[in-house]
Amino acid sequence: MTAMIDRDGRTPYGVLILHGLTSGLGSVRPAAERLEARGLPCLVPWLRGHGTRPEDLHGVTWHDWYADASAALDALLRRCRWAAVVGLSMGGLVALHLAIDRPAVLRAIVAVAPALRQAHPLAPLVPLVAPFRRMLTVPQRGLSDPTRPPLPQSYRRLPTRTYLSLLAYARWLEPRLGQVRTPTLLLHSRVDRVIHPSSATRIYARLGSTEKELRWFERSGHEMLVDCEAPAVLDAIEEFVLRHAPQAPAAG
């Protein structure tokens, strides 16, 4: 695909790609590399509190992540007339939120392991320990091979109240998913140990879009764009994003 340039200097279509809570850009950059090779401009922003140190997440809430993503979308739309949004985990929730608020400029949403329901059995107890524990340890469960080191720039700790904000975001967003009208692809692994696979089925059931797809993977950990099934995951993202391009080029 070769990007065309409008008279105002914009290309028809670009992609905003959003990382997850405690993740680094490396967890989603393969999607940008794949789509840029197809001629699509991509923007992969840091969301508030990330890319530095875990303590910088203190005081950060989902409102900040959404504001950062919305500002990044504005920046992308100065270069492109329409956009798709690809989001991993927490970024998947933000992508769906953008579809509610910004439908006129969005042609496709891809939510990868969207963080609607936590898989850890102790997650419901976090509100009880929050007054006594400022920081939580992030279990290293994002990859199917537990011996692999954490991804660069990812955090192994996060503030308890920031984690609670993610849980609050999921509760806020779920009843509003019927307002999503943008074509949406959901990707999830049946063996995700970070975000429960029921997240994908619940979101799929509630989406208001008449064009929605749910594709399952069988072996990946939570970091689906860099794990053992990454080529197939990236194929699915590429195909869906290109299918909804203004001129609908074929992938391949």
Task: Residue count of the chain, please give it.
Answer: 252
Task: Enter the pTM of the model.
Answer: 0.93
Question: Which segments of the chain does DSSP mark as H helices, in order?
Answer: 29-36, 62-77, 90-101, 126-129, 160-173, 198-206, 230-243
First to last CA, the chain: 10
Which CATH architecture fits 11-243?
3-Layer(aba) Sandwich (3.40)
Q: Which tokens is 51 given?
A: 């890319």
Do the beta carbons of residue 242 and residue 250 sit within 8 Å? Answer: yes
Q: Is 182 in a helix, a strand, or coil?
A: coil
Residues 194 and 125: their CA atoms lie apart, in Å, by: 16
**229 and 191 in contact (C-beta within 8 Å)?**
no
Residue with tokens 């990812």: 154
* pLDDT tens digit at each of 252 positions of the chain: 555 566 567 899 999 999 999 999 999 999 999 999 999 999 999 999 999 999 999 999 999 999 999 999 999 999 999 999 999 999 999 999 999 999 999 999 999 999 999 998 778 888 888 788 899 988 777 788 877 777 888 999 999 999 999 999 999 999 999 999 999 999 999 999 999 999 999 999 999 999 999 999 999 999 999 999 999 999 999 999 999 998 744 444
The DSSP line for 88-138 is: ETHHHHHHHHHHHH-GGGEEEEEEES--SSB--TTGGGHHHHTTT-SEEE-
